[in-house]
């Protein structure tokens, strides 16, 4: 484990040398790992970027576990034991107080939920169908659908995800797109990330606004709305890759707006330490960069497995809807 300052320094130096590497950082961007890609397995770190289109090389995309792990063919059963709604209410109301004070106008509230699942972390990593996957030292697994930033041929891209609804909900797509609260929340994050990209790039544009993606899970489809924002980086951006990334953290979609004040309140209100949950991981191939937000995470604790999930809270949020969304996101993409 290394400090974030050491990681950012390595990113600058290895970027200038066009040396490929893997890295990960926790939510507070205080600690993490940076390694040559070829050394990941030796450190019991397994990453899979095969769902992403950032790289051509399959070697760069994945260092999957070997044939020692044979996944079960038995259907997945996942039982969650969420906090009761009254316990959630106390945190929700604390967020509403922050919003009323004007310290934040969007705060991403997350929770820990104990779970039982008939799969090991290794089996979840192997079987999950997700854009990005990470198994870290048998401590946690992340099956994230969300890109943080990609850099391809000098153009930086981000794809914020905000807005969730079960696919089997009546008129699900139309309902999600028409939801006033969800649209306001999504617009806030798009505006935040557009401003973030403007700190490191020029010609920043929203290329596509609020399109729907379907995520397949062990219990059916889940709709999410995303947007696509781009900007053009200066020449030789690789020489300052760590400095560039430092200016963009934490990810806006899992913190809120404005970020600095909102993160302070998150640390006061949430009853669990996020750790690497809602941090980021990425791969640099010597020219291009691909990164993801570490969500859809299952963590091995001393008392068993916990699933970390949550959602954005605004002044328009309703208690029961947010409580239900937190639970809807407790899934594994095995189908």
Domains and CATH numbers, the chain: 2-328 (3.60.120.10)
User: Is 130 in contact with 51 (CB distance < 8 Å)?
Assistant: yes
pLDDT band at 68 (very low <50, low <70, confident <90, very high): low
Residue 58 has pLDDT above 60, yes or no: no
Q: CA 70, CA 57: separation in Å to the nearest integer?
A: 25
Q: What's the pLDDT at 50? A: 82
pLDDT tens figures, 315-328: 999 999 999 999 99
CA dist., res. 295 & res. 133, Å (int): 10
Q: pLDDT tier at 220 (50, 70, 90 boundaries)? A: confident
- Note if the pTM is more than 0.85: yes
CB atoms within 10 A of CB 229: 24
Average pLDDT of the segment spanning 112-130: 94
Please give the average per-residue pLDDT across 255-281, as a whole number.
96
Residue 302: the pLDDT is 94
Question: pLDDT exceeding 90 applies to what percent of the chain?
Answer: 75
Flag whether pLDDT at 91 surpasses 60. Answer: yes
pLDDT band for 200, please (50, 70, 90 cuts): very high
User: What is the DSSP secondary-structure string of 117-173?
Assistant: ESS-HHHHHHH---SEEEEETTTEEEEE--EEEEEETTEEEE--EEEEEETTSTTHH
Which pLDDT does position 163 carry in this prediction?
80
Q: What is the pLDDT of residues 23-33, one digit of tens each?
A: 999 999 999 99
- How would residue 69 be classed by pLDDT, with cut points 50, 70 and 90? low
Vertex 60: Cα angle to 56 and 62 (nearest 5)? 110
Residue 67 has pLDDT above 70, yes or no: no
Mean pLDDT of the chain: 92
The mean per-residue pLDDT over the stretch 214-229 comes to 87
End-to-end CA distance of the chain: 34
Cα distance between residue 114 and residue 127, in whole Å:
21
């Amino acid at each position: 484990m290394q400090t974030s300052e050491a990681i950012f320094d390595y990113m600058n130096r290895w970027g200038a040398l066009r040396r490929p590497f893997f890295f990960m950082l926790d939510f507070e961007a205080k600690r993490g790992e940076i390694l040559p890609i070829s050394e990941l397995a030796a450190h019991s770190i397994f990453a899979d970027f095969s769902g992403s289109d950032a790289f051509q090389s399959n070697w760069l995309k994945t260092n999957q576990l070997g044939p020692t792990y044979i996944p079960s063919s038995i259907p997945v059963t996942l039982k969650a034991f969420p906090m009761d709604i009254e316990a959630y209410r106390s945190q929700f109301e604390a967020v509403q107080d922050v919003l009323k004070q004007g310290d934040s106008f969007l705060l991403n509230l997350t929770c820990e939920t104990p779970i039982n699942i008939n799969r090991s972390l290794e089996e979840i990593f192997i079987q999950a169908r997700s854009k990005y996957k990470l198994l870290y030292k048998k401590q946690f697994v992340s099956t994230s659908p969300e890109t943080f930033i990609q850099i391809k041929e000098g153009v930086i891209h981000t794809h914020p995800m905000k807005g969730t609804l079960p696919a089997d909900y009546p008129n699900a797509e139309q309902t999600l797109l028409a939801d006033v609260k969800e649209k306001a929340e999504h617009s806030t994050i798009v505006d935040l990330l557009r401003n973030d990209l403007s700190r490191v790039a020029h010609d920043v544009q929203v290329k596509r606004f609020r399109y729907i993606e379907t995520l397949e899970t062990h219990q059916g489809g889940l709709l999410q709305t995303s947007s696509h924002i781009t900007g053009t980086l200066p020449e030789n951006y690789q020489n300052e890759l760590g400095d560039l990334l430092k200016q963009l953290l934490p990810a806006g979609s899992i913190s809120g707006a404005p970020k600095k004040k909102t993160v302070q309140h998150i640390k006061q209100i949430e009853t669990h330490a996020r750790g690497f949950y809602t941090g980021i991981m990425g791969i640099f191939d010597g020219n291009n960069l691909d990164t993801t937000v570490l969500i859809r995470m299952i963590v091995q604790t001393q008392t068993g497995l916990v699933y970390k999930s949550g959602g954005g809270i605004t002044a328009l949020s309703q208690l029961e809807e947010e409580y239900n969304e937190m639970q809807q996101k407790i899934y594994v993409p095995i189908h």
